[in-house]
Copies of this chain bind each other. A is one copy, B any other.
Amino acid sequence: MTGSDMDRLDGLQFSRRQVKSGQPLFHAGDKFHSIYAVRSGTFKSSLMLKDGREQVSGFHMAGELMGLDGLAHGAHASTAIALEDAEICSIPYAPLAELAVGSADMQMILGKLMSREIVREHGLMMLLGSMSAEERLAAFLLNISQRMKARGYSPTEFHLRMSRAEIGSYLGLKLETVSRAFSAFQAQGLLQVDKRHIRIVDLEGLVRAFEARVH
């Protein structure tokens, strides 16, 4: 989302709402009527597989949108759950669409937002399709790092809001494998890890670990 896109949406003053840590914002299957902008806090979106296991499909930080996948079939395809106390901004889709009728700009914004979501998932597919465990974790950490930086926080030291199991689900790995990859990075002097507190010691080394998809 570019700054100007965000400003536009910001100007519209939609209803806000608190979501407590662990609480759902919407469930897979819920009727779609709004998209949501995260104002503060972090969310995960996920869906339950038939066998009861959870598949995490994304993490959402302040300033990011959720719920666009619901437009296709009129119902949300995933469940959004707050990973810490959060505040969201509810954006009813109908008036938004109405607003876009007659405004080429607004329409462009909407289109770009959706397209960006496609590109994001695209990137994740690459990751899941062709990278090793350590490459996946490196990619994940670099992504988080960038997003922290974009929000004015330190890109090299941050607190993860999600569990190893959630990271694993997102990256297509088991939690033990994620844990081992963290340990390996620490042993290589790339990271300092203390549970969910991460300090990136050697950013370039991490980038190299990410690009190690030679062979």
> CB of A149 within 8 A of chain B?
no
Is A211 in contact with B50, judged by CB distance below 8 angstroms?
yes
Query: Interface of chain A, helix or strand or loop or mixed?
Result: helix
Determine which of B57, B104, B118, B214 lies in contact with A101 in the assembled complex, contact meaning CB atoms within 8 Å. Answer: B104
Q: Write the chain B residue with the least CB distance to A173.
A: B129
Q: State how many angstroms separate the Cβ of A79 from the closest Cβ of chain B.
A: 13
**Chain A 83-122 interface residues, beta-carbon cutoff 8 Å to B:** 97-98, 100-104, 107-108, 110-112, 114-119, 121-122
> CB of A128 within 8 A of chain B?
yes
Determine which of B49, B100, B111 lies in contact with A114 in the assembled complex, contact meaning CB atoms within 8 Å. Answer: B111
Contacts A111-B110, A111-B114, A213-B51 known; A129 to B69 CB distance under 8 Å?
no
Residues of chain A touching chain B, judged by Cβ–Cβ distance below 8 Å, are 47, 49-51, 53, 55, 57, 68-73, 77-78, 97-98, 100-104, 107-108, 110-112, 114-119, 121-122, 124-126, 128-130, 169-172, 211, 213-214
